[in-house]
Amino acid sequence: MLRDPIYTGKIIFAKKVYDGTHDPIISQEMFDAVQAKYDTHMEAFLLAGNRTSYFQRTSLLSGIIFCGKCGARYYSLSKVYNLKSGEKVQYYYYRCYSRGGRKEMRKSDNCKNKNYKSTELNEIVIRQICSLATDQEGIKGLIIGTSASQVDTKSVFQNGSLVEQQNLIRSLIKKIVIYPDNVEIHWLICE
């Protein structure tokens, strides 16, 4: 309810927002203020390790990564390592569901596709988006006419909340497929 632009006199069709014919219940300014507050609270909630449901996005690329070997989704997980110094270090990974995730999400019993450190895969995707944002020819066919065309992508990745970063990525990328030797990004506009 808090995320639905219908209350501002808009409608959503085919993942795009259009002006509706109905009268708004709240102003666009009020809606934008609520979105900013919601994003701030949600980011703090997620960083504290909370989730409202199993499907809550808790990492940057959750829900859009697929295995190129077996077709299963990837999920995010963390692992704590004890260093010789006694210090504990936590690493975050993306892993194919067929390599040990929930049984109902598995597509194969013997998938051996690689795990990816979250920081590495996030960096690959962010670098691709930012390089497109500086390539005028590449950007014309990809994000002009989408909500991303109004956004300073580098600023979002440097200063934006987790939710803002996820929203930008999901406005551009349909899915990410991980193969043993490369990562393939399927852009929304190009398909």
Collect all residues with Cβ–Cβ distance below 8 Å to 11 and sequence separation of at least 6. 5, 17, 18, 19, 20
DSSP 3-state helix, strand, coil percentages of the chain (rounded to 5)? 40, 25, 40
The token pair that represents 24 in the structure block? 């708004």
Taking residues 71-96, what's their average pLDDT? 88
Whether this prediction's pTM lies above 0.85 is answered by no
Residue 142: its pLDDT value, please? Answer: 56
Which residues partner with 152 through β-bridges?
Answer: none
- Report the share of the chain in percent with pLDDT over 70: 78
Burial class (CB in 10 A: 0-12, 13-18, 19+), 126: buried
Q: Which of 74-83, 134-143, 149-158 is predicted least confidently? A: 134-143
Residue 134: its pLDDT value, please? Answer: 65
Q: What is the pLDDT of residues 25-79, one digit of tens each?
A: 888 888 888 888 777 766 665 555 444 433 445 688 988 999 999 999 998 888 8
Residue 190: its pLDDT value, please? Answer: 53
